[in-house]
Structure 1
Amino acid sequence: YSVERHTPVADGYLSRRQTFQKYFSQDELTEMVQRVTGQRAVALAPGIVAAFRDKDLEQQVSFRRRSRATIYANLAIPARDPSRFLLRPKSRPVAERAGEELEAIWRTALDLGRLPLEAEVGPAVRTALEEKGITVGRALAACAREIADPAQLKVAADSRREDLVVHFAVTLFPGASRYGSLPASIQRDVRTFFGSLASVVEAAKAELHSLRDRAALEEAYGEAARSGYASYENGTLRFMAENLEQLPVKARIVAGCAEIVHQGFALLDFIEIGPEQGVVRGLECDMVESALPRVRASVEVDLARSRSRTKTFEGKVLYLKSRYLQRGHPGLGKQTAADRKLLELGIVDAKGNGPPADRIAAMLASATRAGAITH
C-alpha cells in the first residue's frame, strides 16, 4: 500500500483526509494478534489472521487448509439414468423430490472421502429434507443408490488418507502446536481410513523420516513435475503456492513444516524447495499475473534449524516465471515464449538472474534494435 502522500505521525500516518492510519505487515499483524490474545495466530489470507479459543475448531481449520480432498467436492455430479427409477420405484420420490439435496450430500461425501453420517449433513440440507418430509437417513440411502460413483469416492478417499498423513506429519514437526484431543470429525476420519490413531501417527512419522532420504525426495519431486503442477530441474522444485495441495505428500509436508517455522509462508505467491536439502523459499510478488512480476520479499526457511530469514527488495524481478506455472495455465504459452526470448537475448541466465526492473525495458529495447540492425 502506498503511503506516498501520507504524513508520518508517531507509529502511523495521517491521510489526506486527516485520518490516522496504522499499517501492518503480515508478520507484524500475526505477532500483534498473538501478543494481545495470548493465542497462536493463524494467517488465513493476506491481512487476515485468526486466533482460536476453540482448539478443536483450530485443528479443523488447519486440517482443511492442508486438505486435498476438498478439491474433489467440485467434481461433476454423475448424471442420473432415468431408467434406474423404473427399476427402483420406491426410490423415485426421494431422488426426484430431493435431487438438489442428494447432490449436496454427495459433495459432502467427496469432501470427506466417505459417505457422511447423519450428523455431518449440513443444516440447510437437513431443513430442506424435513420440509419435504424426507428423513436424513432415507436421503443418505438414496444418495448411495442413485448418485454415488464408487470410482470418484475412491479417489476422494485416497486423497483424504493423504490429507491425514500430511496433517499429522506437520503437527509432529518441532514447533507445531500440541493439542490434548482431536476434533470429532478428525477422529471419525482416522477410524475410517486408518483404524486407530496409532496407525496414522506411525504413517506420519514414516513420511517425516523419509524426508531425510534424498533419493525419496527426488522421486517425489519428479512425480510432482510429471503431474504438471510443478517443475523440477537442477534439484529445485518450483510451483505456485496455490497448487500445493495438488502435489505429492512429501512436498506438501515440507511446505507445511515451513509454515510452522514461518507463519504465513503458505500465503506467499511462489515456492521453491531445494536445491539444499531442508531449505524452502517463498516469494511474495506484486503484479503476479504479469510476465515479469516484481519480487517484494523472499522468505527462506531452514527446516533443520527451524529458523527463517526474510529479505525485502526494491526493483527485483522474477524471471522465467513459466517454471512455476502448472500445465494448462492459460498464460503458460505466452510466458514460455517470453522466457525463451529473454534467454536468447542474453538478458537472463538459466538460473533466472537478470537486471533490476528499472533497466529491463531499456535492455529489451536495445536488444530489439540490435536484432533489427543485424537482420
Structure 2
Amino acid sequence: MATRWGICGTGLICNDFCAALSSCPSSEHQIVAVAARELERARKFAATYGIPTAYGSYQELVQDPNVDIVYIGTIHKTHKSISLLCLNSGKPVLCEKPMCLTIDDVKEVHRVAKEKNLFFMEGIWSRCFPIYDEIRKELDSGTLGQPFLVISTMTMPMLDVGKTSEGGGCMMSIGCYVIQAANLVFKGMPEKITVEGTLAEDGADLGACIILRYSGNRMASLIYYSQAMAEITEKSFSERFKNLQSNTFTIIGTKGEIKVDAPFLCPTKMSGPSGNKEFPLPKTKHPVILPNSEGLCYEADCVRQCLKEGLKECPKMTHADSEIINSIMAEMCKQLGLDYSGVSTTATTKNIFIY
C-alpha cells in the first residue's frame, strides 16, 4: 500500500518535495492532500501536481483520514506549531529543518511525539542520500582509522537572509548543514564550541566560522556564509549555487580521508578509501527549483520504510541527532547574540528562503 502524503505549504521546498515524489512509483507514494493558509493557493498547487484534495487551513488537512503522514515545508517559525497540531491530531510528521527555533521547543515536539507514539523526523535530507550511506559504511568499516577532523563549508548566494523576528538568519537556513556533518561523524556534544560570525544591520546572521572540540582531540572546522556570488543577479540562483565549489565535506582519519564533492548537502559524488562513488539523481516528471532537489525522494523513501517497520524515529536522523544539532545552534546563538525565544509562531505572508 502506498504511503499517502499530506503537504503543509505551497512554497519552494514543497514544490520540490512534490516534484521529487513524481519520480517514485505511485504504488509507494501518493500525495492525497495539500493545505495552505489561502485556499486558492492550495487549489493552484493541487492542480499542478494532480493532488485530489486542497484545503485552506492546516487544521482541515490533519483531520483528513486519508493522510498517513504530513510533510511540513512552511516558513521556519511555524514549524513547531504545525508539528504539534499534526501530532496532537494523530498524524506522523516529516518537518523541514530547522524543526524549531529553540532547543526547548525541539525537546517539546519530541516529547509530544513520544507521548502520542508517533513517527517524527526533522528533514535534514542530506542524511538520506546514497552518498551518506557510503560515508556510514566507510566509518563503520574502519578504513579511515580513527576520524579526528571534519572540515565543512557551506556557502550560498542569498542577498536577503530574512529577519530573526520571522525565524530567518543564515544559521537556520544553511548553517545547520555543516553542523550535521560534524554530528554525523562525532555523534555526541562537543566539549567546547567557539564561534565568530557576521551579522546584518537588522541583527540576523550572515555567516560564521565554528570550531567544535570533541573528546580525544577530535575537532570540526565549519564555515557557513550567505553572500557568495549573491550580487551576480543576472544568473539564476540555481546557476550561481552550482558554480560554488566550496560546498564540500571532508573527514580525515588516521588511515585515510573521505571527501564529499559539492554540493555536500545533496551530493552525488565522493572519494574515499574504497574508491570514487557516484549516484546520479533520479529523473522527475515535474521540474525542481532548487539544485539537486530530485534527491528529496531519498528522504521520502526513508520515511516510508520507517513507517512500514513501525519505527517512531529515523535511524539516519534520530531525535538525539536533532537535539545535539539544535543544542550546538543554541550555543552559537548565545555567542552571536541571536535570540529566537520570543519569535511569534503566527504565520505571515512573507516567505523566507528554505533549503
Category of TM-score, reference length = shorter chain: under 0.3
More helix by share: 1
Greater C-alpha Rg: 1
Q: TM-score, normalised by structure 2?
A: 0.25
TM-score (norm. length: structure 1) = 0.25
Greater fraction strand: 2
